[in-house]
Chains A and B, each alone.
Chain A
Amino acid sequence: MGGDFRMKASKSIKARAHPLWLAYALHRLSGLGLALFLPLHFWVLALAVTNPGQLDRFLQLTDAGIVKLAEFGLVFLLAVHFFGGLRLIALEWLPWTAPQKSLAAGAAAVSFMVATLFLLKAI
């Protein structure tokens, strides 16, 4: 069971091109993105005590278009991780056999709508 053969063989793997694998990738990457964003998020909020002026300058940054777009991305990450996560919990813990692919697509669609709603409110 060496690790060597795996890396070589995995380069040519095309078996990932199906909806549930993409749902898995989306869930993992959104989770990773959120976990990496959290320290920044917390640090900025803590400025309310340590340096309120700096916090206001930070919050003013959010008026810029590019920052709004980044916020849209973050809201999408949170929403897609939330709805995708609900799908996984349902799949794992509820004794039902719903069409998983449709649910995955639905989760992404709803997340996109939530993020769009946020963006429209933000502009």
Chain B
Amino acid sequence: MLSMRLYMLQRITAVAMAPLVLGHLLVMIYAVQGGLSTAEILGRTKGSFFWFLFYGTFVLAASIHGAIGLRTIVSEWAGLKGVALNCFGWLTYVGLFVLGARAVWAVTFA
């Protein structure tokens, strides 16, 4: 059900995200102090190549990782198989990636 390729992709994206998640947790704890605002978020991220790369990589890895995870769950808990299962995986990946890429673009270079 889970091919070795998907397994490796799942683990590699997990390892790639490890420092990013840690960074994200730290930024959240830092940024939430004194409340959140659009201006504050954009002030940090707008025009920043670093944050574009940071969140861009994060979105790419998370959409792959999340899609493979959801694919496994619907296979094990809902019995989805074969072509339907693969379609579900790809759709989830593309959906998450497009939404995520839109968000990253919005807070950096848009």
Contacts and interface: CB of A to CB of B under 8 A. Distances in A.
Interface residues of B, number: 37
A32 B99 contact: no
B20 to A, nearest CB: 10
A41 to B, nearest CB: 8
A32 B70 contact: yes
A45 B107 contact: yes
B35 A42 contact: no
Interface residues of A, number: 38
A46 B103 contact: yes
B66 A35 contact: yes
Contacts of A35: 66, 69-70, 96
B25 interface: yes
Main secondary structure of the interface of B (DSSP, over half): helix
B2 interface: no
A78 B21 contact: yes
Contact of A38 (B35, B62, B105): B62
Contact of B29 (A34, A82, A85, A121): A121
A46 B38 contact: no
B96 A38 contact: yes
A117 B29 contact: yes
Interface in B69-93: 69-70, 73, 79
